[in-house]
Amino acid sequence: MIPLTKFNTRVNGSGQVVTQVKRSSAAEVLEHSFQARMGEHQGIYERIGPSRFPVEEGYGPATTQMMYSNDEIIDEISAKVSETFDKRIDQDILVLLNGWRR
């Protein structure tokens, strides 16, 4: 999981946290969220329940989730993998048959 601070996240003039995870989507205001430093880590946190504690850090989707949600990216990756495989398979077979690599 990727922390929200790695995405397009900011705190507006009224103290609300505004974040945009996908470039194609609009920025959203996160209610009950705030930016704070916990030890050495700067993050976006949200209160869980009416009391002051506990708080939970906000995360965006993982890289694999973002990739698999976009069909264009999957097609590009598949094409590149296929191209690289086709280039390397003949070379690797030749190396193994000639005993150049053990």
Beta partners for residue 44, in sequence order: 35
- In tens, the pLDDT along 19-58 reads 998 877 889 999 889 999 988 999 999 988 888 889 999 9
CB 18 within 8 A of CB 28: yes
- In tens, the pLDDT along 50-80 reads 888 899 999 998 888 888 887 888 899 999 9
CB 44 within 8 A of CB 33: yes
Distance CA(94)–CA(74), nearest Å, equals 30
Burial class (CB in 10 A: 0-12, 13-18, 19+), 60: buried
